[in-house]
């Protein structure tokens, strides 16, 4: 019987292997479908952005308490080795250590944005040269290493190195991820929707990370939150390797050469957008390190209230993204207005913060700030890609590196400058100043009202879609049409440059 059953089992195993091979082949074919592939790419990028912002904010409830414990242990050891009469100076020593701890926390929080600010000009150029997939993989790899160091680091120097390393990873992952979305989604409405989804993941990561980290830190210890994030990062990297295959033998010769970042910085339209992205994020960047102390001193808030301060703001942020995407689809020529309106809302909400007396009252202006930021980001990030399309070369690494620089300027200053402003001028003056800056900057977005006049007609758009591939990946995959595309793109670029000169002369 065993001899007769063996051939049947072998045949059954062969059938199953054949079926598995067929399913794998079908999956590979599905992966090569452009529409399905770009959806998977959107998922990969969104997870990367989620991880980066969760790692950025998850340390908020963990690191201050952890460093305080380390400082307390060191203080106890110092006191144990001193003469008993030295205890009279313990109060002044405790105050000195507290001030030193505040400085250490501020520098630690800012180090990520500072390094990101320094690396972004280089990462943008690198992305323009090699494409978007390899830099995204580099960014995820660095973020994975950074997260592991956070999990097992047990002194300030190690945590500082991990935080700075995260800035290096973010400079590659964030910039290449957003640029990849802009490259794969070429239609303006689809691009706005895809970037809006990415912004929603950024918001979710930033706002859910503090309670996520605080709960796990309280019940499972310091390592667990970072180990969870490291595992998700590893899974996202494997998905990237499986779907996009960044090291496959695709020809990267004769790729379009992107416009250098220094030329993008002096483009008046792009400069206005970059300035708006910096200014609109200043209230969030400056309030995050200062609002907890203000709540404790003025409202006598509990730890859970301070920990959940920003969580309700996630919902108006997503609502702002949704509304802006819908409005942009109907009236794409009013993107500048949506951004300006968002800055006015941010300014008014920022001025309302110091007037709040309870936690419930504080929720409203914080929601207003995040709602306004959603309007500005969702309106202006697609505008950057469109400005590159009609004013420069359609390669997006440098322009989104410039956007990342804009964010990093705000978040590099926040943990260091905000505390000094509160100490010297007061919390009320800080908020009034941030609100005034946003309201005064909003009219500068009027310059962008001419952007809609640079748009090609529907016939030009159809011809462009038919005659030339859109985006860097399609350029690589359709090499035989490269010469034709290059000639058409040059003529189209000349046409838009002419149109722009005519607009300026009006």
User: Average pLDDT for residues 297-305, to the nearest whole number?
Assistant: 77
How many angstroms separate the CA atoms of 152 and 480, rounded?
Answer: 51
With CA atoms as reference, report the closest residue to 283 among 227, 366, 200: 366
What's the 3-state SS for 213-241? Answer: HHHHHHHHCCHHHHHHHHHHHHHHHHHHH
Residues in the chain: 506
Can you give the pLDDT at residue 320?
A: 92
Q: How far apart, in Å, are the Cα atoms of 457 and each of 105, 217, 453, 454?
A: 53, 56, 10, 9
Tokens found for residue 80:
């144990």
Residue 277: is its pLDDT beyond 90? yes
Q: What is the pLDDT of residue 354?
A: 92
> What is the rounded distance in angstroms from the CA atom of residue 242 to the CA atom of residue 236?
10
Could you tell me the pLDDT band of residue 248, with boundaries at 50, 70 and 90? low
Write out pLDDT tens, residues 203-235. 888 878 877 887 888 788 888 889 999 999 999
Question: Rounded to whole angstroms, how far apart are CA atoms 243 and 383?
Answer: 28
The answer on pLDDT for 473 being more than 60 is no
Cα atoms in the 13 Å half-sphere on the side-chain side of 141: 8
Predicted confidence band of residue 1 (pLDDT cuts 50, 70, 90): very low
Going from N- to C-terminal start, the domains of the chain cover 30-67+105-246+258-455, 462-506
**CA-to-CA distance for 363 and 80, rounded, in angstroms?**
46
Query: 378-429 pLDDT, tens per residue?
Result: 999 999 988 998 888 888 889 999 999 999 898 888 878 888 888 888 899 9
Instruction: Inform me whether the pLDDT recorded for 43 exceeds 50.
Output: yes
pLDDT of residue 203: 83
Two tokens, residue 363: 């929720």
Tokens of 86: 């030295």
Q: Whole-angstrom Cα distance, residue 265 to residue 403?
A: 10
* Residue 8: per-residue pLDDT: 58
- The pLDDT confidence band at residue 55, using thresholds 50, 70 and 90, is confident
Q: Identify the band that residue 487 occupies on the pLDDT scale cut at 50, 70 and 90.
A: very low
CA 28/CA 48 separation, integer angstroms? 23
**179 or 213, which is more confident?**
179
Half-sphere exposure of 32 (CA within 13 A, CB side): 7
Cα 414 off chain centre by: 16
Please give the pLDDT value at position 249: 52
Q: Rounded to whole angstroms, how far apart are CA atoms 379 and 300? A: 38
CB of 188 closer than 8 Å to CB of 209: no
pLDDT of residue 360: 86
Specify the residue for token string 């994030």.
229
Give 60 or 436, the one with higher predicted confidence. Answer: 436
HSE-up of 249 (CA within 13 Å, CB side)?
0
Dist CA 285 CA 97 (whole Å): 25
Give the pLDDT score at 457: 36
Q: What gap in Å lies between CA 134 and CA 127, rounded to an integer?
A: 8
Is the pLDDT score of 181 beyond 70? yes
The Cα 98–Cα 388 span in angstroms is 48
- Please measure the distance between the N-terminal and C-terminal CA atoms of the chain and give it in whole angstroms: 93
Helix (H) or strand (E) holding 379: helix 359-391
Tokens, residue 252: 């990267």
In tens, the pLDDT along 65-105 reads 777 777 676 666 655 655 555 454 555 555 555 666 667 77
Q: What local confidence, expressed as pLDDT, does residue 98 receive? A: 61
pLDDT at 458 over 60: no
Q: Residue 50 above 80 pLDDT?
A: yes
Residue 453 has pLDDT above 80, yes or no: no
pLDDT band at 462 (very low <50, low <70, confident <90, very high): very low
Quote the pLDDT of residue 77: 63
Q: What's the whole-number mean pLDDT along residues 473-477?
A: 42
pLDDT at residue 93, rounded to an integer:
56
Q: Where are the alpha helices (DSSP H) in 261-358?
A: 261-265, 268-287, 291-298, 303-307, 314-330, 335-352
Higher pLDDT, 157 or 65: 157
Query: Half-sphere exposure of 43 toward its Cβ, with a 13 Å CA cutoff?
Result: 15
Going 458 to 460 to 462 to 464, the CA torsion angle's sign is negative
Q: How confident is the model at residue 14 (pLDDT cuts 50, 70, 90)?
A: low
Q: Rounded mean pLDDT of the chain?
A: 78
Mean pLDDT, to the nearest integer, of 463-490?
Answer: 42
Q: Give phi and psi for 81, each to the nearest 5.
A: -90, 0
Measured at the CA of 346, the angle between CA 383 and CA 187, to 5 degrees, comes to 20
Question: Residue 394 to residues 293, 467, 470, 474: CA-CA distances in angstroms?
Answer: 46, 16, 9, 12
Cα gap 51→189, rounded to integer Å: 26
| Cα 327 → chain centroid | 23
Rounded Cα gap, residues 505 and 340, in angstroms:
25
> How far does CA 59 lie from the centroid of its chain?
17
Q: Which two tokens stand for residue 337?
A: 């207005």
What's the rounded mean pLDDT across residues 302-317?
A: 80
**CB contact at 8 A, 278 and 407:** yes
CA triple 305-65-373, angle to 5 deg: 50
Mean pLDDT of 320-341: 90
**What is the dotted CATH code of the domain comprising 30-67+105-246+258-455?**
1.20.1250.20
Quote the Cα angle for 155-157-161, to 5°: 120
Q: How far apart are CA 56 and CA 86, in angstroms?
A: 40
Record the tokens describing residue 344, joined without a space: 């006015």
Highest averaged pLDDT of the listed ranges 329-333, 458-462, 473-477, 484-488: 329-333
Measured CA to CA in angstroms, residue 125 lies from 122, 391, 412 at distances of 5, 18, 22
The pTM of this model reads 0.77
What's the confidence (pLDDT) of residue 38?
82
Mind listing the pLDDT tens digit for each residue in 123-135? Answer: 988 988 888 888 9
Contact yes or no for 248/399 (Cβ under 8 A) = no
Where would I find the H helices in 63-187?
63-80, 90-130, 133-152, 156-184
């Amino acid at each position: 019987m065993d001899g007769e059953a063996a051939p049947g089992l072998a045949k059954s195993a062969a059938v199953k292997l054949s079926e598995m091979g067929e399913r794998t082949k079908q999956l590979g074919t599905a992966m090569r479908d452009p529409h399905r592939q770009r959806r998977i790419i959107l998922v990969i990028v969104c997870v990367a952005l989620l991880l980066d912002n969760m790692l950025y904010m998850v340390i908020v409830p963990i690191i201050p308490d952890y460093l305080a414990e380390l400082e307390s242990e060191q203080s106890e050891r110092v006191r144990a080795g001193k003469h008993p009469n030295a205890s009279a100076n313990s109060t002044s020593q405790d105050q000195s250590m507290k001030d030193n701890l505040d400085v250490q926390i501020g520098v630690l929080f800012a180090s990520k944005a500072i390094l990101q600010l320094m690396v972004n000009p280089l990462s943008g150029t690198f992305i323009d040269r090699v494409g978007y997939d390899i830099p995204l993989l580099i960014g995820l790899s660095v973020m994975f290493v950074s997260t592991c160091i956070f999990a097992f680091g047990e002194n300030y120097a190690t945590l500082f190195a991990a935080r700075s390393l995260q800035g290096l990873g973010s400079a590659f992952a964030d910039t290449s991820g957003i640029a990849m979305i802009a490259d794969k989604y070429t239609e303006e409405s689809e691009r706005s929707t895809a970037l809006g989804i990415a912004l929603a993941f950024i918001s979710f990561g930033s706002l859910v990370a503090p309670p996520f980290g605080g709960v796990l830190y309280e019940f499972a210890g310091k390592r667990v939150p970072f180990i969870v994030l490291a595992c998700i990062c590893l899974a996202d990297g494997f998905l990237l390797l499986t779907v996009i295959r960044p090291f496959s033998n695709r020809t990267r010769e004769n790729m379009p050469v992107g416009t250098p970042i220094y030329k993008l910085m002096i483009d008046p339209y792009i400069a206005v957008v970059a300035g708006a992205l910096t200014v609109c994020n200043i209230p969030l960047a400056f309030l995050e390190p200062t609002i907890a102390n203000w709540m404790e001193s003025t409202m006598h808030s509990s730890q859970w209230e301070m920990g959940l301060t920003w969580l309700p703001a996630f919902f108006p942020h997503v609502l702002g993204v949704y509304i802006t995407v819908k409005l942009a689809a109907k009236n794409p020529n009013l993107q500048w207005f949506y951004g300006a309106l968002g800055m006015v809302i941010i300014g008014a909400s920022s001025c309302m913060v110091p007037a709040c007396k309870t936690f419930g009252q504080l929720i409203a202006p914080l929601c207003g700030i995040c709602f306004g930021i959603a309007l500005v980001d969702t309106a202006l990030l697609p505008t950057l890609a469109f400005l590159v399309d009609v004013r420069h070369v359609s390669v997006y690494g440098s322009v989104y590196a410039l956007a990342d620089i804009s964010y990093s300027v705000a978040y590099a200053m926040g943990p260091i400058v905000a505390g000094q402003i509160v100490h010297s001028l007061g919390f009320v003056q800080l908020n009034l100043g941030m609100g005034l800056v946003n309201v005064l900057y909003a009219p500068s977005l009027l310059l962008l009202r001419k952007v809609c006049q640079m748009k090609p007609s529907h016939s030009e758009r159809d011809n462009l879609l038919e005659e030339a591939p859109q985006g860097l990946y399609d350029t690589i995959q359709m090499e035989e049409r490269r010469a034709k595309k290059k000639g058409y793109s040059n003529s189209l670029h000349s046409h838009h440059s002419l149109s722009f000169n005519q607009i300026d002369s009006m």
